[in-house]
Amino acid sequence: MAEITASMVKELREKTDAPMMECKKALTEAAGDMAKAEEILRVKLGNKASKAAARITTEGVVGIHIAADGKLGAILEVNCETDFVARNAEFLALVQQSAKLVADKAPADVAALSTLPLGEGTVESTRAALVGKIGENMSLRRFRRFEAQGNLYSYIHGGAKIGVLVDLIGGDAELGKDLAMHIAAAKPRVLEVAEVDAAAIERERRIAREKAKEAEKSEARQEKDAEKAEETFLKEVVLLEQAFVKNTKETIRQLLKKKGASVATFALYVVGEGLEKKVSDFAAEVAAQAAAAQK
């Protein structure tokens, strides 16, 4: 049997916010498999066991550039250590200049972007100089470039912590803005049902079946619960299946049909999404520094 360490229990607790003992029991039952343990907790505790996955874990901003004709654009995330630097004018200038370079020069990746000319040097030399001046590390994390089939519309929210770029075919500027705002609020993962990972769908069905089984429901009822869970999941993650935030009686698919429009693609960036934030214990750091000074 795999050894269940304190660090494993801590990691699972941070992911799920479940009680410590429940985390340990789940890890034991899962033989140390972290993903399986999280699934076990979801069966027992419901969706609250995965709420930590949506937390913003690092500082920084999302930058967006759209060309004057609305046909070419880019969305870019740049990270830094503190929110204070995320509001710094020079840092924000670096973000916007880099986003424009992505749109104009089509670099293959972040490494290629870093070598592009900027100011008196390159993107990388500008970044390094700013790090030296401010005294805080910063990094270009990711970007996506758009050559629109229709027209590009954007939305920035929460001090540039959330950014959306959407390629809308047909419709008008009001619809484009509404869609970008909807995406920022509802946070879909994909455009169409066909893009959803089959394994993710099966996981939701499996969890629903297990919960129904624990409630001693019949096999037929277990399957109905699984179907309902799949339907709910798809409405959460697929843009076209979501209820429009400004009119929840119609879906995005229905809204687009009514307007004679369609969405070619979209990008949603949330600062720090998928990254782990370093949590420091200030009191412990002070104590450690005091001990080191005494030595």
> Scanning the structure block, which residue is given the tokens 């020079």?
90
Reduce the DSSP state of residue 109 to 3 states and report it: coil
Residue 108: how many CB atoms within 10 A of its CB? 7
What secondary structure letter does DSSP report for 241?
A: G
3-state secondary structure 116-183: CEECCEEHHHHHHHHHHHHCCCEEEEEEEEEECCCEEEEEEECCCCEEEEEEEECCCHHHHHHHHHHH
Write down the pLDDT at residue 284: 52
Write down the pLDDT at residue 181: 97
Structural tokens at position 170 = 């047909």
- Highest-scoring range by mean pLDDT, 12-26, 76-90, 158-172: 158-172
In the predicted model, is pLDDT for residue 54 greater than 50? no
Structural tokens at position 165 = 């770029």
Taking each helix axis from N to C end, the angle separating 20-29 and 6-16, rounded to the nearest 10 degrees, works out to: 110
Length of the chain: 295
243, 51 contact by CB (below 8 A): no
Write down the pLDDT at residue 23: 85
What's the average model confidence in pLDDT over 50-54? 44
118, 101 contact by CB (below 8 A): yes
Reported pTM: 0.75
Ranges of beta strands (E only) in the chain are 59-66, 72-80, 117-118, 121-122, 138-147, 151-157, 162-169, 243-244, 247-251, 262-270
**Confidence class for position 46, pLDDT limits 50, 70, 90:** low
What's the average model confidence in pLDDT over 269-284? 65
Range in 19-23, 172-176, 189-193 the model is least confident about = 19-23
- Highest-scoring range by mean pLDDT, 28-37, 66-75, 224-233: 66-75
**Confidence class for position 282, pLDDT limits 50, 70, 90:** very low
